[in-house]
């Protein structure tokens, strides 16, 4: 190899090295910008994409109503003795700890007990935790459809009287970003701080 060709070869190699280095930096930047969540990352999931249900004021609601906010969606019922009030209490604490970003959080509660959870009951129940939380009351047919679409389990457990039954149900929450896209599956009992961190990450992304 003569001197001139050697210089060309070295220059070409340096160019490829520079391009590879830039590419590597680009990949690193992409990797660094991808949020790391505490909850299970469901980004890209092809289920639980939306709903069309009536709230306690008789208004039909969809995810589009809450665009610009992070939505935490939970299935439960007002007479639930433990999981539901615990989750709602934690979500009210999450909203408080978000500070000025608390207004960018929307909690949505879909009842799995529409027979007993009337609009009046659900208004009072949500009001006990945060007046801004929204309760949705499906018909029995809508409940069957939405729980199937969201892969949520629920089952009536008979009590001593016809009205003293309880409801077994899934205890996790779905979390949507500000564009209404399903992003996270937050397991029951994960705690307030991890949820706050995940919501802050979604608000920044």
- Place 33 in a pLDDT band, splitting at 50, 70 and 90: low
Asked if 64 contacts 102 with a C-beta cutoff of 8 angstroms, the reply is no
The yes-or-no verdict on residue 189 having pLDDT over 60 is yes
The band of 3, judged by pLDDT with boundaries at 50, 70 and 90, is very low
- What residues pair up with 82 in beta bridges, in sequence order? none
Domain locations in the chain as residue ranges: 1-34, 40-204
Instruction: Say whether pLDDT at 127 is over 90.
Output: yes
Return left, alpha or beta for 144; rule: phi > 0 is left, psi -120 to 50 is alpha, else beta: alpha
Q: Which CATH code for domain 40-204? A: 3.40.30.10
| pLDDT > 80? residue 16 | no
SS3 52: coil
Helix or strand run (H / E) with residue 41? strand 40-41
Sequence-distant (6+) residues with CB within 8 A of 204 are 35
- Residue 22: its pLDDT value, please? 41
Of 88, 81, 109, the C-alpha closest to 166 is 81
CA distance 50 to 181: 9
């Amino acid at each position: 190899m003569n001197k001139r060709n050697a210089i060309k070869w070295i220059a070409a190699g340096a160019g490829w090295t520079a391009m590879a280095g830039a590419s590597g930096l680009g990949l690193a930047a992409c990797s660094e910008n991808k949020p790391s969540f505490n909850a299970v990352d469901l980004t890209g999931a092809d289920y639980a994409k939306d709903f069309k249900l009536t709230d306690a004021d008789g208004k039909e609601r969809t995810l589009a109503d809450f665009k610009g906010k992070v939505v935490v969606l939970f299935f439960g019922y007002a007479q639930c003795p433990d999981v539901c009030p615990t989750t709602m209490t934690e979500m009210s604490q999450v909203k408080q700890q978000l500070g000025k970003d608390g207004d960018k959080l929307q909690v949505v509660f879909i009842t799995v007990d529409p027979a007993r959870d009337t609009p009046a009951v659900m208004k009072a129940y949500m009001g006990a935790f945060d007046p801004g939380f929204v309760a949705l009351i499906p018909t029995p047919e809508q409940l069957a459809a939405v729980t199937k679409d969201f892969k949520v389990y629920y089952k009536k457990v008979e009590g001593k009287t016809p009205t003293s039954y309880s409801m077994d149900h899934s205890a996790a929450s779905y979390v949507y970003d500000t564009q209404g896209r399903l992003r996270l599956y937050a397991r029951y009992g994960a705690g307030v701080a991890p949820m706050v961190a995940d919501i802050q990450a979604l608000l920044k992304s």
